Amino acid sequence: GQQVMQIPQYQHVQEGEDFTTYCNSSTTLSNIQWYKQRPGGHPVFLIQLVKSGEVKKQKRLTFQFGEAKKNSSLHITATQTTDVGTYFCAVSANAGKSTFGDGTTLTVKP
């Protein structure tokens, strides 16, 4: 199946700073999803990207899919304490079988 690597594994930021997590693959991806898991919680679907070069925004979150469809990024502008958690990228295949990255855990210092 398709494999994805996420970097960094951990990121500590001061509240108000920006944050970016990257998802990379050695092969062309058909799609990519992003999930957020709050501490003690379960993953929650955020968005899916399917088109080359696609950019989508959700308030302070910006999601990008690379032109070659081999990488994706999630950028948070001006982080808040509510942004803490682990952000996962995933690739979906037939019947929704998804392969998840290892996640980036974000901590925000007030």
Partner 1 sequence: DVKVTQSSRYLVKRTGEKVFLECVQDMDHENMFWYRQDPGLGLRLIYFSYDVKMKEKGDIPEGYSVSREKKERFSLILESASTNQTSMYLCASSLMGRAYEQYFGPGTRLTVT
Binding-site ranges for partner 1 (CB under 8 A)? 1, 9, 31, 33, 41-45, 48, 88, 90, 92, 95-103
Q: Which is nearer to partner 1, 17 or 46 (CB)?
A: 46
Q: How far is the CB of 42 from partner 1 (least distance, A)?
A: 4
Q: Shortest gap between Cβ of 103 and partner 1 (angstroms)?
A: 5
Q: At its nearest, how many Å lie between partner 1 and the CB of residue 56?
A: 14
Closer residue to partner 1, CB minimum distance, 44 or 78: 44
* Surface-to-core class of residue 108, CB atoms within 10 Å of its CB (0-12 exposed, 13-18 middle, 19+ buried): buried
Backbone φ and ψ for 100, nearest 5 degrees, come out as: -100, 145
Query: Across the strands, what pairs with 33?
Result: 48, 90
Asked if residues 43 and 88 have their Cβ atoms less than 8 Å apart, the reply is yes
**From the CB of 39, what's the least distance to partner 1, in Å?**
12
Q: Which C-beta is closer to partner 1: that of 2 or that of 20?
A: 2
Cβ proximity of 36 and 29 under 8 Å:
no
Nearer to partner 1, 40 or 110 (CB): 40
